[in-house]
Amino acid sequence: MPLPRALRPFSHREYRVLIGALAVSIFGSGMWAVAMVYQVIHIGGGPLELSLVAAAGGVGLVAFVLAGGIAADRVPQRLLIIAVEGTNLAVIAAVSGLAMAGWLQLWHLVAGAFILGVGAAFFFPAYSAILPRILPPEDLLAANGMEGTLRPTLQQAAGPAVAGVVVAALSPSHAVTGVAVCHLLAFVILNFLGQHALQAPGNGSERADTGPPGDGAARTPAKTSFFSELREGVSYTVRTPWLLWTLLWACISVLFLIGPIEVLLPFVIRDQLGGDSRMFGFLLAVMGVGSAAASLVTASVRLPRRYLTVMMVCWGAGTLPLAAVGLMDNFWLLALAVFIFGATGSVGMVIWGTLLQRRVPPHLLGRVSSLDFFVSLALMPVSMALAGPAASVLPIWLIFLVAGGVCPVMAVVALLVARMSADEIAHPLDRQDPLPADADATT
């Protein structure tokens, strides 16, 4: 009996190893998010010290994500992923040992968070680039959907919940030790990745747009400088309309949406619903459930023929309910709004990740993926920094109205300007024959 579509990637040994290690690792990351908070408090820190540790991780991630993309295109991804997980293990084990001995200081946590952020900057471009090498094209959507299901389930729900129990029952240092065990297990699992399967794109995953016309193999450019390789990735993005306009939409959506959701939504809950932190946490959980469920559903179906249109419509239409958040005084309507936002956002993200892996040339995939991460990560703190001052001069309902209304308009603009409807017809992904050489770059 054939496997359900969502489970087909599991028929490939290398994927089973990779996703198993990823699941354990992101569960550990979820535990770390809670363990780190209470470890800071345990050594006498307050909000300022906690912000310093959290900021260190963000700085490491943003500062090195472009370098991580270049490394993913030049260093064997298997070795890169194993090296990152080994570094994570070393950092968390050191923090755990220091905490257990009573020697842990704030600077240890700051340094550790920074190194973990750097590791994430190298891990995720490499993970995105390695999937097309171990899976056939028709299984990439399911693989991305599976990751989209695991991440909110393990990193946002199960990991923090387990860490909270361990902290309450034992101590923060025991929770950090649990994180170290997770990274040890992930490191061991990753070492079972077969080297032979990752030497070059395989399993039918080659795309004919990976080099000049007539070149049937993946291109291997000569070694060049950091900036010239970065410029090559940026140049490809700029001259590829569907890619450029999707990233422009992402810039606008992150700038307009993240701040209101993270900073202003708690005040909506307090002032309009009379709720507290428990209600805010529950709403975030509802959004996570919507995200996980939608990712699983997307993994279970075929990539739509109108894949760019479906992606942009999901992203654009999914933000519309947020336009009314500032006017809602009913908890269940608010829960429905964030559920829709989480679900539609995940559908778009699963399709987006699949398009990067199927339409971007393999020798550029790490860099293009890192540009995507960089755009999102760089604007998140900007959005959160602007939300508070904006709320001091504008009513919150107006901020949500603008945020929820701008994104659908920009989605329509992106669809039209990039001619995505014509592009997706010219480059069908529901067949296995190669695309025209360099088609994306000349659209």
> Contact 85/186 with Cβ under 8 angstroms?
yes
User: What ranges in 43-158 are assigned the alpha helix state H?
Assistant: 47-74, 77-101, 106-134, 140-150
How far is residue 421's CA from residue 415's CA, in Å, rounded to a whole number? 7
Q: Is 428 helix (H, G, I), strand (E, B) or coil?
A: coil
How far is residue 95's CA from residue 180's CA, in Å, rounded to a whole number? 9
Identify which of 14-23, 58-67, 230-239 has the greatest average pLDDT: 14-23
- The 10s digit of each residue's pLDDT in 293-345 is 898 888 888 888 899 999 999 999 999 998 888 788 888 898 899 899 989 98
Q: Is 304 helix (H, G, I), strand (E, B) or coil?
A: coil
Angle ∠(390,396,398) on CA atoms, nearest 5: 90
Nearest one of 333, 360, 369, 352 to 411, comparing CA atoms: 352
Work out the percent of the chain whose per-residue pLDDT is above 90: 28
- The correct answer on CATH 1.20.1250.20 for the domain covering 5-194 is yes
Q: Report which of residues 313 and 356 the model is more confident about.
A: 313
Nearest one of 139, 159, 86 to 116, comparing CA atoms: 86
pLDDT at 93: 95
How far is residue 35's CA from residue 29's CA, in Å, rounded to a whole number? 10
How far is residue 383's CA from residue 164's CA, in Å, rounded to a whole number? 29
Angle ∠(335,336,341) on CA atoms, nearest 5: 100
Distances (CA, A) of 359 to 45, 205, 298, 326, 375: 47, 11, 19, 39, 20
Distances (CA, A) of 75 to 39, 135, 225: 35, 19, 14
pLDDT at 224: 66
pLDDT at 415: 93
Q: What is the CATH number of domain 230-442?
A: 1.20.1250.20
Residue for token digits 């902290």? Answer: 167
pLDDT at 197: 47
Nearest one of 190, 147, 141 to 8, comparing CA atoms: 141
DSSP code per residue over 170-221: T-HHHHHHHHHHHHHHHHHHHTTS-SGGGSS--TT---GGGSSTT--S---P
Nearest one of 429, 407, 397 to 345, comparing CA atoms: 407
How far is residue 60's CA from residue 116's CA, in Å, rounded to a whole number? 8
103-107, 217-221, 241-245, 406-410, range with the lowest pLDDT:
217-221
User: What is the signed CA dihedral for 244, 247, 252, 253, rounded to 10 degrees?
Assistant: 140
User: What is the signed CA dihedral for 317, 322, 328, 331, rounded to 10 degrees?
Assistant: 90
- The 10s digit of each residue's pLDDT in 128-164 is 888 888 888 888 888 888 888 888 888 877 888 888 8
DSSP 8: G
Residue 191 corresponds to which tokens in the numbers above?
Answer: 């070492």
Domain boundaries, the chain: 5-194, 230-442
How far is residue 350's CA from residue 343's CA, in Å, rounded to a whole number? 11
How far is residue 309's CA from residue 290's CA, in Å, rounded to a whole number? 21
> Contact 239/441 with Cβ under 8 angstroms?
yes
32-36, 380-384, 422-426, range with the lowest pLDDT:
380-384
pLDDT at 205 > cutoff 50:
no
pLDDT at 365: 81
Average pLDDT rounded to a whole number, residues 30-41: 86
Chain mean pLDDT for the chain: 82
pLDDT at 71: 87
pLDDT at 215 > cutoff 50:
no
